[in-house]
Structure 1
Amino acid sequence: MTSQKPATPKPSLADSLQYVKGVGPKRALLLEKLGLSTVEEGLALLPHRFEDRSRVQPIGKVTDDEYVTFRATVLNAGTLRLGRRRKVFEVIFEDDTGTLRGKWFQFKESYMKERFALGRHCIVSGKPRPNTYLGAGLEIIHPDVEFTEADAPATLEMGRIVPVYPATEGLHQKSLRTIMKHLVDLYAPLLEEFLPADVMQRNDLVPRVNAYQDAHFPPPGSSADLLHKFRTPQQLRLIFEELFLIQVGLAFKRKHAYREQPGRTLKTRGDLIRRFVKLLQFEYTGAQKRVLGEIMDDLEQARPMHRLLHGDVGSGKTLVALTTLLTAVDNNLQGAMMAPTELLAEQHYLNLLPYCEHLGVKLDLITSALPSAEKKAVQQRIRDGETQIAVGTHALIQKDVGFQDLGLVVIDEQHRFGVLQREAIGKKGLSPHVLIMTATPIPRSLALTLYGDMDVSILDEMPPGRQPIATHSYDAKKRDAAYQMVYEEIQRGRQAYVVCPLIEESETLDLKTAQEVHTDLVARFPDLTIRLIHGKLKKEERQAIMTEFNRGGVDILVATTVIEVGIDVPNATLMLIEHAERFGLAQLHQLRGRVGRGAHASQCLLIAYPPLSDDAAARIEAMLKSGDGFVIAEQDLKIRGPGDFLGTRQAGMPTLRFADLVRDLKLIVSTRKEAFALIDRDPWLKEPNHQPLRDTLHRTLGDRLDLLNIL
């Protein structure tokens, strides 16, 4: 009796990369550093650039302005000394038209001599430059070399357009290309087509399997220019499918998670609102009226509002928020306003308090810093319904806080909260209306992908009388001149902020600290009143300092970024930012927005300490060029990329593998149109031809877009 050989398991996209030919346990660990553990994840690692090695040219026609590939033989090879300690391994390559030198500064001499034996045939690729030491001819530093027969055909490395992958230490491009070729050949044919046929036809999309195969290893005749721009048909197909899947998820969530929830229809523009409008010493701007109209229309519907309000610094979001909260109170419901920091929550409370007192509305503040007895008393008032509007930090979502009848929630500076925190406050009531606010304008491409399931309102108009803010940058050597400008501004009767990135001295960062700067300014300007404020102060101390500053009793307020948002002092006309190179672009713009709030011209001074990184220089340049928050936001997205902008990783946005939010705005718009139309036609994706799409949506984005409880 002969024993049967066990059947070889069929390849699967869920297979571990460790068992792919050429990988093994050690390389599998290296691939994990790139976030790759399964075959499917490996296939999604697209080349981030390409090298055109398809055009083989004679050495005599090689120039130093482009990447080149040539066939040659080894004429000479050996080690040269550059000075006493430095050595270089040099190879002279030769063909019928001339010679060109290759140089390696990191090498093992015995290995290199054996490898570059005289007379060996090879294909060489790289970017030539003028010879550094001889002053004549060209050289290539660390060229790619493949040894071959004199008339050998193209390989993975030569004679074609070659993919270059995101690398990790210990895994070389040649090894990575070999692994990816095995993956593409064996596993790409297993990829399922999930895009509906009509969507593919309308958008002229190539099949999914072909897209993956050719996006990794472009066929002969491919355009190197289009590949670099990610605009080949194969690349566009993969970008389209990724964006389309996200947009279908957002459309699905909008259709079911929000629209199917029972909501409460509110009466708008009631008596309390009319009394509030009479209290105001000014009129709403046109943008505020438009946005409030959109919000009130939402509140009148029998479904909960889920609206994002974004606008520039100082565009009047707090007034919109208070009007919205008072509408809830006018309907005998409670309102809540959640802010990310205690200082911002305190500022909101103090800004809302005078209006609420005039209107007889009970307002309470709750933060984790409240004394225990006071916190319990506030919690009891909220439970009993005595508190009509509660303002607070994440303390609002703790188990001890229960509302009698929460009808409306405002979440400020939403990007500082995670998805679960935002959902937790929403669960404190019976499907309350939700208004999410941010003072960081959001580029359109990001709004369509991160908040595509929400209605979006934009405050794009400043209240009358707001002054433009002149922005200047100073090298650290001119710090004294910048502080002289601060002193002169105060002599004109104005006030100033000085912001530093740290509170106290750090062993690892050599930065001007808030405490050090405060001490320096007190000694420098003994005739001025200078105060220091930061997040470690007790609430009472912070409030006392801010009250004194508001009343004009403080000339210079030295602060950390606790004053980034929510501070409104019209007489403060100068903002000086120490170590501006250490701040993000959105932060710099937010800080600048603390001035320019009154009738006087205002300035922002940026002091930068060299050496500046390219990104830091780009941020400061953006600040000097524009005061428009939407322009700033677009530039910030270009500098940082979508992964870090607004903390999108913690905000629930799926990681983009193929698409780029700066480059692919048109595709975002077209995929959104297709996705929302599809969900309108087939709300539950029940049609047989939509089943693959439904399955893919559930498998890849169900948890990230909170769809698992709906699908």
Structure 2
Amino acid sequence: MDPLPSPPPTSATPSDDVKRRLATPVEFIRGVGPGRAQLLERIGLRNAGHLLFNFPRDYQDLSNERTIEQLEEGRLQSVRGVVAEISATSKGFGKSRLAVLISDGTGHLRGMWFNQPFMRDRFREGMHVLLTASPKMRGLMWEMSHPQVTVLADEEATLDAKLLPVYSLTEGLSQYHMRRIEQAAVEEFADQLEEVFPSPLLKRYKLMPLVEAVRAIHQPADREVLEQARRRFIFQELFVLQLALSIRRSEQRQLKAYELPATAKVDARIRRLLPFELTASQEKAITEISADMALDRPMNRLLQGDVGSGKTIVALYAMLVCVANGRQAALMAPTEILARQHAETLAKMLEESRVEWALVTGGNTRSERDETLRRLAAGEVNLIIGTHAVVQESVKFKDLGLIVVDEQHKFGVRQRSALRQGDVAPHYLVMTATPIPRTLSMTLFGDLDFSTLDASPAGRQPINTYLVEPEQEPRWWHFVGERLREGRQAFVVAPLVDESENMPAPSVAEAFERLTNGELAEFRVGLLHGRMTSGEKQDVMERFRSGETQVLVSTSVIEVGVDVPNASVMTVLGADRFGLAQLHQLRGRVGRGSRAGYCGILLEATNEEARERLESFSKSNDGFALAELDFEYRGPGDLFSTQQHGMPPLRIANLMTDRDILEEARREAQLLVAADPGLKHADNAPLRQQMMTRYGKSLELGDVG
């Protein structure tokens, strides 16, 4: 577990005594001592301040606690009592029963666990426990099946609290002792905290004062008080994040960049190279990008568009504007397959042009790479395309004016900025074919301006999506075979490379073996996955593009950018292992030519939620709607990993449920930064310190005052 950040500063000019008190080592807090201090150290709790802001991960709700004689059937209730009797029986392999009799002075209740023999070790006669479940009357006795169990220390047996905090633990540390330690820390140190928010802001957003909120989140009187305390800390966490993003934008705008105007002459020369008429949304994006690049501060813009909306052409326009102004441009792609595909597109466009370009990937020979890098440093190469190899220290530019990063979420903040060299910052254009939900656009991508492509180029074919039940599979494979006999090509996608005991999902190895000996035995089938060498992947893709291979069995390595216009059918195995946004990316690999596309989702033993998700997917071709739906179903981690992006995870806020608070925090943070751009005012010093402690490194914030 990552260490918790230092406790928030407690005032604009916190006294040394207050700082010293909050820095009191946990060893000297009542109930800890040297032994438990070592256990707390394992979970990053080293001082009093850490304990104050180590919030419970959950709460045991005792608001519906009853005595046994008060129980009602069919309602979730809790019973506190003493273990009177334990009976464990086994009926052969895998079949066991545990019965624990509880007494509370008003009657007896039996807790039952089936096929969970490990539960036996949790109980001993005479111990105090709290059982929570929906009871049923069995004969003359109440019974709870598989109840939630809370073991109570003797001192807790008579607690009248209605919400019992549940903390993250480490081996050797009990929940009871953790509660006592936290209670001691709150009682001794909470009053040392001084408010970081001004009174008007607390009143405007109805926020609980800091000391009161710390007490309430550890020892809530009831659910309403708990929610008020949580709201206070959710607002504070999101507010500090939004401050950091606003400061980052402000700092970026203070950097110097080359002015790269798209004059009428430059525009006309570039448009002569474009293979087709641009859509209205492409024209709008080009206008926004051109306006940014004409300024003497760096553009920081994200270009998002649905599958097949024409982002690459917009990016190439921007790169050619850069080159026309005598500067170099770089395009960074997440995979070698996509980098090579961009290179092919560029080669076709620049056949009649004098623009010098090069491709740098891990597949280059040493001599090829050295020669390309020499020419790049000398300014002989105007435009370079590559994978992460482009960000290595050995890559030097003579005059870098523009960086384009494809599939933004595959790169962290540090990878993006690694290309910056010298005193003049390059302009920045990042692209994604996974539309970004609004909540994420305000957090992980809050430092970027947005351009959106919401229309597909003319001639783009529809994609028909079908959910294929197990009994319908023979008909589906017959349909695939008919398309192949017509001269079309097909993808088959599976989530795993090899079979796995830990994850019951289809693998490409398994699918390749089955199809080449079964349903698709008469066709030429190829295999592609991420463990292949660069040369092997390139060879497989070339054979598929040329039509030598009719079917490509692949992992999701083909999800981004692979363009084979003759491929019109896709079959997805283990679809419940993919997010909706990823499935939409995969589906976008077909229907890119003159024929309609077809996507078959093979339904296996999926649960109801998975089936509901896949039905939503089959009914919509709108990537923006699917991205929002994916966010609702799976949360932000499945779309854009915060760790991948380089941002520390949120500790109490939830981007799915706290959107309204996020909007408030964002608005207030932007107002504060507008009024005090460097957060230099003394009243803002605590917030500035919090912001730098939390986000200074990950967002590469400079000295803001």
Q: Same fold (TM over 0.5)?
A: yes
Q: 1:143 offset after TM fit, Å?
A: 4.8
Is 1:200 the counterpart of 2:210? The answer is no
CA contact (8 A) 2:322 2:402 kept: yes
Is 1:339 the counterpart of 2:333? The answer is yes
Question: What residue number does 2:235 align with?
Answer: 240
Give 2:688's match in structure 1, choosing from 688, 694, 698: 694
**Which AA in structure 2 matches 1:549?**
F
Farther-moved stretch of structure 1 (297-306 vs 61-70): 61-70
- 1:391-430 to 2 correspondence within 5 Å? 391-427=385-421, 430=424
- Consecutive unaligned residues of structure 1, counting only runs of 5 or more, are 1-7, 117-122
Q: 1:167 offset after TM fit, Å?
A: 4.9
- Partner of 2:455, secondary structure, is coil
Question: What residue number does 2:103 align with?
Answer: 93
**Which AA in structure 2 matches 1:687?**
H
Is 1:449 the counterpart of 2:459? The answer is no
CA contact (8 A) 2:572 2:600 kept: yes
Q: 1:236 offset after TM fit, Å?
A: 1.0
1:24-58 alpha-carbon deviations (Å, 9 max, x no partner): 45545554565544433333332343333245545
CA contact (8 A) 1:146 1:158 kept: no
Give 1:374's match in structure 2, choosing from 362, 368, 379: 368
Question: What residue number does 1:565 align with?
Answer: 560
**Which AA in structure 1 matches 2:103?**
F
- CA distance in 1 between counterparts of 2:25 and 2:478 reads 64
Is 1:52 the counterpart of 2:66? The answer is no
Farther-moved stretch of structure 1 (480-489 vs 359-368): 480-489
1:611-642 alpha-carbon deviations (Å, 9 max, x no partner): x5788667545533533222332333344433
Farther-moved stretch of structure 1 (284-293 vs 407-416): 284-293
CA contact (8 A) 2:136 2:144 kept: yes
- Partner of 2:247, secondary structure, is helix
Question: What residue number does 1:320 align with?
Answer: 314
Farther-moved stretch of structure 1 (21-30 vs 180-189): 21-30
Farther-moved stretch of structure 1 (44-53 vs 654-663): 44-53
**Which AA in structure 1 matches 2:590?**
V
Cα separation, partners in 2 of 1:130 and 1:333, compared to 1, 3 Å: same
Give 1:605's match in structure 2, choosing from 586, 600, 603: 600
- CA distance in 1 between counterparts of 2:59 and 2:304 reads 39
- CA distance in 2 between counterparts of 1:146 and 1:400 reads 61
**Which AA in structure 1 matches 2:101?**
V
1:49-98 alpha-carbon deviations (Å, 9 max, x no partner): 333324554544422444434677x7x932335455856453353666x6
Q: 1:125 offset after TM fit, Å?
A: 5.1
1:493-539 alpha-carbon deviations (Å, 9 max, x no partner): 42211123445667876765435544543444454333334456565
Is 1:676 the counterpart of 2:670? The answer is yes
Q: 1:175 offset after TM fit, Å?
A: 2.9
Give 1:21's match in structure 2, choosing from 20, 30, 35: 30
**Which AA in structure 1 matches 2:444?**
L
- CA distance in 1 between counterparts of 2:479 and 2:27 reads 63
Question: What residue number does 2:4 align with?
Answer: none
Question: What residue number does 1:119 align with?
Answer: none
- CA distance in 2 between counterparts of 1:70 and 1:558 reads 56
Cα separation, partners in 2 of 1:115 and 1:548, compared to 1, 3 Å: closer
Cα separation, partners in 2 of 1:18 and 1:604, compared to 1, 3 Å: farther
Is 1:596 the counterpart of 2:598? The answer is no
Farther-moved stretch of structure 1 (622-631 vs 534-543): 534-543
CA contact (8 A) 2:493 2:556 kept: yes
- CA distance in 1 between counterparts of 2:378 and 2:583 reads 42
Question: What residue number does 1:666 align with?
Answer: 660
- Partner of 1:485, secondary structure, is helix
- Partner of 1:40, secondary structure, is helix
CA contact (8 A) 1:450 1:653 kept: yes
Give 2:527's match in structure 1, choosing from 512, 529, 532: 532
CA contact (8 A) 1:442 1:633 kept: yes
Give 2:287's match in structure 1, choosing from 290, 293, 301: 293
Is 1:362 the counterpart of 2:356? The answer is yes
**Which AA in structure 2 matches 1:51?**
Q
Is 1:139 the counterpart of 2:133? The answer is no
Question: What residue number does 1:184 align with?
Answer: 186
Question: What residue number does 1:439 align with?
Answer: 433
Calculate the aligned-residue CA RMSD, in Å: 3.4
Is 1:251 the counterpart of 2:241? The answer is no
TM-score (structure 1 length as normaliser): 0.86
CA contact (8 A) 1:194 1:696 kept: no
Q: 1:412 offset after TM fit, Å?
A: 0.8
Cα separation, partners in 2 of 1:83 and 1:406, compared to 1, 3 Å: closer
1:646-690 alpha-carbon deviations (Å, 9 max, x no partner): 122131223211111111112112111111111111112222222
Number of corresponding residues: 681
Farther-moved stretch of structure 1 (84-93 vs 266-275): 84-93
Q: 1:571 offset after TM fit, Å?
A: 2.7
Q: 1:484 offset after TM fit, Å?
A: 2.6
CA contact (8 A) 2:109 2:141 kept: no
Q: 1:323 offset after TM fit, Å?
A: 0.7
Cα separation, partners in 2 of 1:464 and 1:157, compared to 1, 3 Å: farther
Give 2:482's match in structure 1, choosing from 482, 488, 494: 488
Q: 1:280 offset after TM fit, Å?
A: 3.4
Give 2:125's match in structure 1, choosing from 98, 113, 125: 113
- CA distance in 2 between counterparts of 1:78 and 1:435 reads 68
Cα separation, partners in 2 of 1:181 and 1:478, compared to 1, 3 Å: farther
Farther-moved stretch of structure 1 (295-304 vs 172-181): 172-181
Question: What residue number does 1:130 align with?
Answer: 136
- CA distance in 1 between counterparts of 2:506 and 2:151 reads 50
1:152-189 alpha-carbon deviations (Å, 9 max, x no partner): 9x988444222233455554433332222122222222
- Partner of 1:112, secondary structure, is coil
Give 2:628's match in structure 1, choosing from 634, 638, 642: 634
**Which AA in structure 2 matches 1:182?**
A
- CA distance in 1 between counterparts of 2:634 and 2:380 reads 46
CA contact (8 A) 2:631 2:656 kept: yes
- Consecutive unaligned residues of structure 2, counting only runs of 5 or more, are 1-16
Sequence identity of aligned pairs in percent?
38
Is 1:265 the counterpart of 2:259? The answer is yes
**Which AA in structure 1 matches 2:215?**
Q
- Partner of 1:113, secondary structure, is coil
Is 1:77 the counterpart of 2:89? The answer is no
- CA distance in 2 between counterparts of 1:356 and 1:706 reads 37
